[in-house]
């Protein structure tokens, strides 16, 4: 079982680092983002409209493969992403977000955003358009 399928309360720093060590490349249902940006919500909409999947925010990538050491993001990023999903997506969507602490003292987390296509009212529109994922992009 991986962080993509295990219960949210079972996702730990160790299971996250183990998953990243497998060097699984980005795909139609997996994406890495070093930092928060408008592209995160776009990816949420596209995954919701396609096959579901996971976005790991706080994990950089090179040529679609995760870098060895995740950079992390502040925990406040989680609220910012959820708020944007709720306000800019139609219908409003609250994705599952699992914060994994890399270093709580330094406020560094990886946010595992998981989307189950079976639990989403589709289509999910962003700016009046239904985004979809094709081959990891």
Residue 130 lies in a domain: no
64-117 per-position pLDDT tens digit: 999 989 999 999 999 999 999 999 999 999 999 999 999 999 999 999 999 998
**Domains held by the chain: number:** 1
Predicted confidence (pLDDT) at residue 137 exceeds the cutoff of 60:
no
27-44 per-position pLDDT tens digit: 999 999 999 999 999 999
Residue 71 lies in a domain: yes
Q: Cα dist. 109→12, 70, 119 in Å?
A: 11, 9, 26
Looking up residue 70, the CATH number of its domain turns out to be 3.30.950.30
Residue 109 lies in a domain: yes
- Write the CB contacts of 49 (distance below 8 Å, at least 6 apart in sequence): 122, 123, 124, 130, 131, 132, 133
- Residue with the bigger pLDDT between 119 and 30: it is 30
Predicted confidence (pLDDT) at residue 136 exceeds the cutoff of 80:
no
* Sign for the pseudo-dihedral over CA of 111, 112, 117, 119: negative
Predicted confidence (pLDDT) at residue 58 exceeds the cutoff of 60:
yes
Q: 23: domain range?
A: 11-119
Enter the tokens of residue 112. 């595992």
pLDDT at 1: 60
Q: Report CA 22 to chain centroid distance, whole Å.
A: 17
Residue 34 lies in a domain: yes
């Amino acid at each position: 079982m991986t962080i993509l399928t295990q219960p949210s309360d079972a996702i730990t720093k160790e299971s996250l680092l183990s998953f990243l060590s497998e060097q699984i490349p980005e795909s139609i249902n997996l994406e890495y983002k070093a930092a928060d940006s408008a592209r995160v919500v776009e990816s949420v909409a596209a995954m919701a409209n396609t096959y579901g999947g996971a976005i790991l925010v706080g994990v950089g990538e090179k040529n679609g493969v995760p870098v060895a050491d995740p950079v992390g993001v502040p925990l406040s990023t989680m609220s910012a992403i959820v708020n944007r999903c709720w306000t800019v997506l139609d219908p409003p969507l609250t994705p599952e977000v699992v914060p994994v602490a890399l270093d709580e003292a330094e406020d560094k987390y990886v946010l595992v955003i998981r989307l189950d296509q079976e639990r989403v009212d589709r289509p999910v529109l962003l700016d009046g358009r239904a985004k979809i994922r094709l081959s990891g992009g």
